[in-house]
Amino acid sequence: MTLQKSLLQQFFQAYNKEAEVVAYAPGRVNLIGDHTDYNDGFVLPAAVNFGTHVLASKRQDSVINVIAIDIDNQPVSFNLSQIVFDEQDTWSNYVRGTVIELLKFIKSSPRKNSVSGVDLFISGNVPQGAGLSSSAAFEIALLKAFSDLFNLSLSGIDAAKLGQKAENNFVGCQCGIMDQLISALGQKSHAMLLDCRALSYQFAKIPENITLMIVNSNVKRELVSSEYNTRRQQCEAVAQYFKRSALRDITLNELNENKQSLESVLYKRARHVISENLRTLEALTALNTHDMKLLSRLMADSHQSLKDDFEVTTPELDYLVELLSNVVKDKGGVRMTGGGFGGCVVAILPQDLQIKAKQVIEDNYFQKTGIKPSIYICTAEQGAFSL
């Protein structure tokens, strides 16, 4: 039985009616460009073959029922007329926040669309808390389901903005827009260079003989309760010092000229972001020209910067990068990916090194850390709103 057929059966068992739409959105891995997105910078993610399905059917009233079988099989309900933060079933706040932003969007739209209550059934296989953006896949799949159900003509960029607003305004995580946009508009077999200010993007083909390997350190972290928001405030403080709207507008020369006037920690945070933007632009060129030596150096420098200047790696992440770098050498790249404080590393490596890389991790990581890693071999996939 296919996954979709199984989910359709489960929807019917839960609600005693057929699902009217089935939506799907992928998670993502960021190849390079971390903590640049909320600084109006550049990122280079790819949508991956782990994602979230949302099945939906209209109701005659204004009640939203949600069952998320991978989180909690108990249904959660709320009314469109009164959406409040849920302190108990906190996962449902992603649904609540997304619906609030969608209702605002519909109200401001020249098209006179409306939505009613909906029965929702959600299933995903994006590893939770691993830095592969299960939350963005969740939000974008929800928005795709509502868009299809009510013929809303929502664009991928609209959906990405709404998902980001849901996290910023309701959930309480000050994330950038990268995760939502790549989930909405990713392209199969490609990475996306995204300009997070202009929301313009271009694609780079991932060479056919190259594998994306993601290794979850299984050091769990919660971005909302971590120092993620602190890092954002530190970046904004430097931008304010220079009287610029974002770190995107400051050069390394300018930063270095003002080093003595800045707190050392603020200087380091800004140096990471500004140098990471430059590395990310170079990485697009490296992929397009199949220059794996350049990509290897860029990813190594990125990890070191995230470790020393942004201080978001962990000993476990550093060790995984060390293990994989010894296998991959200059034939690909390795770095931590995501918000940090735990989560994953990503390796871009030739397919013929995949087995060796996996074996090295399995032979050494648990022995040193006492934690069992999770290894995922990924392909770059299509986004929910891609044509």
Positions annotated as catalytic residues are 179
DSSP assignment of 155-196, as one string? -HHHHHHHHHHIIIIII-----SHHHHHHHH--TTEEEEEET
Q: For the packed helices 178-185 and 156-165, what is the interaxial angle rounded to 10 degrees?
A: 150
Return d(Cα 235, Cα 266) in angstroms, integer.
7
323 in Cβ contact with 369 (< 8 Å)? no
- What DSSP letter does each residue of 297-310 carry, written as one string? HHHHHHHHHHHHTS
Nearest 10 degrees: CA dihedral of 383, 45, 218, 315?
Answer: 180
CA distance 117 to 323: 51
Give the end-to-end CA distance of the chain in Å, rounded to a whole number: 27
Using left for φ > 0, alpha for ψ between -120 and 50, and beta otherwise, residue 33 falls in: left
Smallest Cα–Cα separation from 310: which of 318, 321, 302? 302
Do 52 and 120 meet the contact criterion of CB atoms below 8 Å apart?
no
Neighbours of 108 (CB within 10 A): 7
